[in-house]
Structure 1
């Protein structure tokens, strides 16, 4: 949360140079407060696990957040009970006339397919287009980040010779962006994907900024300059055992994959490591909710400005 002090205090300029969020008393007095409205489009197969992971992060904030869970209408997976979906999830047709402060679009295990071959691609692009006028800021995770970059900018995804899976070290490319405020200069985060987006493709678009990357895993966090769209190519929300479960799943499918890198204790399959990315994940979601959503979204969502994508 911001420090609320008089704008005349000399420390204000010093704190702002350190990327500390300082709110002047004048702004604090005029600030309207209400619960944030956030919708989560859950594309993961086992939806209950992803719900727990994301709600754990979104709830770790002083802000009050009203969450709506959203599923695809054009495709229904087999790994989540229908009763659960019926009781707890909405479809796009049920919420498309509403407006939201934030949208989270999860990853999905479909990255080896062409976008157009994904069964719910048309519905997903309709939701992404809808978000430009009905959502203030969208956070895209893993495959969703690739899908969003492709839809908005035509940035392609590239197949990798081997799956990137493991816990990787990352560095900051921009220390002053609010999304990475408070991040360590080096931090860990999980990745799990067969494809990538490349730095040189992203740099062709002036409205995009690369905030963090990994020498081994590539580009990690990309954001539009106005923070209306945040693309995260990894899975900071993952639990300690998620990569293990995915590795076992892939092996049972007969896939020829290596064990996750920098993950198992002594590289012994099944020896789950301590969770070394929890604080990073908490901070990433807190920063998105606070700086990209809460501090910028209009109090009256009917006044929501349209998001523009300058290519």
Structure 2
């Protein structure tokens, strides 16, 4: 079954060219089925690229998924046209009385700021608190994961001496977890962040389980025992060239940046990176949609704890 997105969303053409099954809202309305209601809170400045990446992995399962895109009302986006936000996005005020089967909260390039110094932090905390009652399962990604761990459990973040940047190897430490069904014992995933959360701090909460870690990149995946809250510190949804574009952007801006680790063949930025994380990225989101959302959410989404 397809991911249900607006007919004119720019991501649609890209996904159709890749063979991802997408469906217009008009066609979906004629099917006698309740689709999963999934919201995406897109905090990234490159919103169209992030939409495409997330819709790609969310559209890889047999489940019909109805997508609601959200942006922050308290923050003015400088990299996305207002017309795009007006046409395809809602704000929290638009949906605060609604219920969703799932929510994805993306990362944001603001890790070095204290949480309270982020201009939209009051709105962010309101959304995080709302999600515990109005969403059955929330997938928090990168800065979104750090923000949620801090808000819900008081887990702090630590600035790194050098950016964690590249494609790193990870090992599964909870093979029985439903989120990791079908995973190899070791798998690759991209990271791009200036801050870190510590495994010991997460374990000290007594309420969040570690699921996968990396010797080089640290914690990768954690979740509450009921999988109502999932935390991913990396970017398994990234495209082949996402890290390359980030690297070249920073080089052109004159910033100090090392080449992404374990990414370019022979560490040569002129060579095309090998995609070696997509399979597990698709599997992660498929497991989340199936086991953490579809298999557990009540038929009526206005009772998310049922």
TM-score by length of 1: 0.87
Question: Using the alignment, how far apart are the partners of 2:235 and 2:249 within structure 1?
Answer: 17
Matches within 5 A, 1:4-19: none
CA distance in 2 between counterparts of 1:253 and 1:117 reads: 24
Aligned to 1:45: 45
Is 1:186–2:186 an aligned residue pair? yes
- What is the total number of aligned residue pairs between the two structures? 276
Once the two structures are TM-superposed, the CA of residue 270 in structure 1 deviates from its matched residue by: 3.4
Q: Name the counterpart of 1:225.
A: 225
- The 2-side partners of 1:302 and 1:239 are apart by 34
How many Å separate the matches in 2 of 1:270 and 1:238?
19
> Structure 2 CA distance, aligned partners of 1:270 and 1:237?
23
RMSD: 1.5
The CA distance in 2 between the partners of 1:71 and 1:285, in whole Å, is 21
Report deviation, 1:253.
3.4
Distance 1:250 1:157 in 2: 23
Tell me if structure 1 keeps the 8 A contact 2:178–2:287: yes
Partner of 1:95: 95
Q: CA shift at 1:266, angstroms? A: 1.2
Partner of 2:30: none
Comparing 214-223 and 252-261, the one that deviates more: 252-261
Map residues 62-101 of structure 1 onto 2, 5 A cutoff. Answer: 62-101=62-101
Q: Pairwise mapping of residues 1-311 of structure 1 onto structure 2 (< 5 A)?
A: 34-305=34-305
Structure 2: state its 5+ residue gaps.
1-32
| Secondary structure, aligned partner of 2:184 | coil
Question: Where does structure 1 differ by over 6 angstroms across 4 or more consecutive aligned residues?
Answer: none
The equivalent of 1:30 in structure 2 is none
Separation in 2 of the partners of 1:296 and 1:236?
A: 24
Q: Tell me the distance in 2 between the aligned counterparts of 1:75 and 1:145.
A: 19
CA distance in structure 2 between the aligned counterparts of 1:244 and 1:83, rounded to whole angstroms: 28
TM-score by length of 2: 0.88
Choose 1 or 2 for highest CA Rg.
Answer: 1
Listed one character per residue, the Cα deviations across residues 85-110 of structure 1 (whole Å, up to 9, x for unaligned) are 10000011111111000000000000
CA offset digits 1:113-154 (Å, max 9, x no partner): 100111111111100111111000000000100000000011
